[in-house]
Amino acid sequence: MGVGVTHQGSNGWALRRPEPDPTSLPTIPSPPYRTDRFRQSRSNDPMIAAEQGDAHMPEPLEGLRVVEFAIAIQGPLVGGFLADMGADVVKVEPPGGDPNRWHTGVNWTAPPETPGAQFLSVSHGKRSISLDVHTEIGREVLMRLVDRADVFVSNFREDSLERMGLGYDELAKRNERLVYGIANGFGHEGPDRNKRMTDQYAQVRSGIANMVGDPETQPMIAGSVIGDTSGAMGLTLAIMTALAARELHGVGQKVRTSAYGVLVWMQGWELNHSSISGTMLSREGPHHPNVPGSAGTYLTADGGAFHVDVQGDEAWQEFCEFGGIPEIGTDPRWNESRKRSPMNDFRWVDQARLLRPHMARAMKHRTTDEWERFFDGRREYIMYQRVFNYEDVINDEQALKNGYIVEKDVPGVGKRPMAGNFAQFNKTPPSAKRWFPELGQHTAEVMSELGFDSEQIAEVEAQRNPRQPMSRRARSRRR
């Protein structure tokens, strides 16, 4: 039937392993999990810590007003982070809604009322208003929002925004203190400033895909949208810098970033190394291309995997004994740490690479649990980490204690562990005031704040048309 087999996770939550039958979909999994573990970690959750402390404690960005005019990930994730930090983020959606509300991806088993995971991941904490900005009333609402805003965020093309009267120059005339943040795919100057982009295209152009995979095989993209998400964090950083500049120098301004640019910046070490040395780095499979030696990712006897680097010489002897290769432990080619990991001694680089097959053989000599126990007793001398899948992550006590995974009530499927926030504040902790907004949920509320009457509010709300597909032309204007 193609129904996935439910695998029982060691800490309670389980993820379904679908069988390879693309003709049918599994039912919604209802795995057991330990709610007490989430309750115990609530005090460590940076999203809700404020609820347990001083009720009047301000959030980091409380009082900051943000207008989000963006779709997909790179723009909305900026608004999502700012909202997490306490900013009042108003998401302006077309009458049919942001298309990523219904972007379901693969193996999706949730009912129709469940928003797509992509939307949930970038829309928490916001208010949503539904506007047709091509109508007189819709444009007036948007302009009043801009008039009182601190930040305007978009990932639509600049020329498209200018044609709609939403370019920086136009909005700055109304609000000279506005920080206008815009992200695109490949940069805002040059011949490809308007070239269409989604995440994977930024990955392959930035060179990062050329560094992933085995040297004998084709380049590979990462299994996560690192172009979009890193692009979003780059724009967030630029916006916060511009806000600091406004406080210091009294000026608003336009800030522009791109997914391509951020990915290039993130690879500064590797790219600059290639440029300075005149030698191109190449992909090395389970090893970092610029870290010579034995450190890498290796499989265990039962199919698990670890990334491991044995640094202490005594620990190296013990590793080889435990892994069934005692003769390698005493081999003078590798019996010193500088010979196994020659970061600053190029005499040993080629020799150190020869150690990798022996490391792989040793790791396959024992099971994952056996290696976990062995490594755990030698943390001072061996750097290691078992390779996690998403089931491991959502059950990881470390993730729970730090609020990286938090429990949320998802429409249609109930409580589920979801990605939380990575930032913690000891004096102005953010709180979980809102989850995600329904399409146009706050239209009346926001319009009332802006001084519109009930008839005008009714006119705008009548335009809402959920699940109306965005036109191909409109989709092409983004990024």
Rounded-to-integer distance, Cα 196 and Cα 432, Å: 35
Query: CB–CB of 225/246 below 8 Å?
Result: no
Is residue 68's pLDDT more than 70? yes
Is residue 189's pLDDT more than 50? yes
Rounded-to-integer distance, Cα 339 and Cα 326, Å: 17
Confidence of residue 432 (pLDDT cuts 50, 70, 90): confident
Alpha-helix residue ranges (DSSP H) falling in 280-367: 313-322, 326-329, 337-340, 349-353, 356-363
Cα of 159 vs its chain's centroid, Å: 27
Query: CB–CB of 353/346 below 8 Å?
Result: no
Report the pLDDT value the prediction gives residue 468, as an integer from 0 to 100.
Answer: 47
Confidence of residue 55 (pLDDT cuts 50, 70, 90): low
Among candidate residues 192, 211, 195, the one with its CA nearest the CA of residue 203: 211
What phi and psi, each to the nearest 5 degrees, are found at residue 185?
A: -80, -55
Among candidate residues 366, 390, 215, the one with its CA nearest the CA of residue 298: 366
Report the pLDDT value the prediction gives residue 373, as an integer from 0 to 100.
Answer: 98
- Summarised one tens digit per residue, pLDDT across range 356-388 is 999 999 999 999 999 999 999 999 999 999 999
Burial of residue 237 (number of CB atoms within 10 Å: 0-12, 13-18, 19+): middle
Report the pLDDT value the prediction gives residue 31, as an integer from 0 to 100.
Answer: 38
CA–CA distances in Å: residue 313 to residues 3, 342, 406, 479: 49, 14, 41, 52
Report the pLDDT value the prediction gives residue 102, as an integer from 0 to 100.
Answer: 85
Is residue 8's pLDDT more than 90? no
Confidence of residue 37 (pLDDT cuts 50, 70, 90): very low
Report the pLDDT value the prediction gives residue 50, as an integer from 0 to 100.
Answer: 43
Report the pLDDT value the prediction gives residue 16, as an integer from 0 to 100.
Answer: 65
Report the pLDDT value the prediction gives residue 345, as an integer from 0 to 100.
Answer: 79
Q: Which of 273-287, 337-351, 418-432 has the lowest mean pLDDT?
A: 337-351
Domains and CATH numbers, the chain: 58-266+430-476 (3.40.50.10540), 296-387 (3.30.1540)
Rounded-to-integer distance, Cα 299 and Cα 364, Å: 6
Q: What is the pTM of this model?
A: 0.86
